[in-house]
Amino acid sequence: MSVRTRNNRQRKPGVAAVNRPARFDRRVEHRRVRRAAHVELGRLFEPEDHALPLPVHTSAKADPSERPEPPVTQRRFKVWKTKDWKRRSAMRAQRAATYQALLKAD
């Protein structure tokens, strides 16, 4: 490990064991934050007005017209992920023609 990497890691509080707070202190801080959030939620007059919106894919009750449209992604033909026999279009066309001929013969 280089000296620069080691120095950068020691400056970050969550990465280096030197600057990391003790486990007990982290637990106390986490509990304090959760408690403060719980108290603030209890003070709201209309909690429904401050509720976070539901995720798009988990709500079966939402009207489909209200759901946002998913982004259109262009699916490209990836040769390196396709098996060799699938890439031979002439051979596939000949195989399909033979198969159709067999179906018509029956």
pLDDT at 19: 64
Q: In this predicted structure, which of 33-37, 53-57, 80-84, 99-103 has the lowest mean pLDDT? A: 53-57
Distance, in Å, from the CA atom of 65 to the CA atom of 91, rounded to the nearest integer, reads 45
Per-residue confidence (pLDDT) for residue 18, from 0 to 100: 62
State the Cα–Cα distance between residues 61 and 59, nearest whole angstrom.
5
CA–centroid distance for 49 within its chain: 27
If pLDDT is split at 50, 70 and 90, which confidence band does 31 have? Answer: very high
pLDDT for residue 14: 66
Distance CA 29, CA 14 (A): 14
Q: For residues 80 and 40, which has the higher predicted lDDT (pLDDT)?
A: 40
Residue 96 to residues 84, 89, 91, 99, 104: CA-CA distances in angstroms?
17, 10, 9, 5, 12
